[in-house]
Amino acid sequence: CTLDSEVALRVGGDFFFDPQPGDSPVNLVLIAGGVGINPLFSILLHIADLHGYQESKGKRHKLGTAKLHYSAKNTSELLFKKNILGLMKAFPGKITCCFHVTQQHSQICKELQPHVTGK
């Protein structure tokens, strides 16, 4: 987002992301804490599936970017972190993530270091 961008915000409840082939692309910012990652991880998987389908079969969906901000006490409590790193690697620039830890007392592994903030 940039200054003066229009955004839609949804907190909790029943939500989903199901873009249709004719829809305009949207850029998603997903914010999760702890186990709240579960529905947002499902959305990331869906986005990855759409990107994969788009690359193999032609561009049916117009997809924007997806940026996940995910917070936990420490890196061991970041659920799906390896899967999320894999999605970022498979779709560079299309799916990104910033992990935030609030009570990390041990060294952060090299694989996660570029994506982790906080301490």
Which pLDDT value is given to residue 55? 63
**Tens digits of per-residue pLDDT, 64-119?**
999 999 999 999 999 999 999 999 999 999 999 999 999 999 999 999 999 999 75
**Tens digits of per-residue pLDDT, 29-59?**
999 999 989 999 999 999 999 888 766 666 6
Which pLDDT value is given to residue 52? 83
Which pLDDT value is given to residue 103? 94
Domain ranges for the chain, please list them: 28-117
Which pLDDT value is given to residue 18? 87
Fold of 28-117: Rossmann fold (3.40.50)
Which pLDDT value is given to residue 58? 62
Q: Confirm if 34 and 72 have CB atoms less than 8 A apart.
A: yes
Q: Is the pLDDT of residue 15 over 90?
A: no
Task: For residue 17, name the pLDDT band (cuts at 50, 70, 90).
Answer: confident
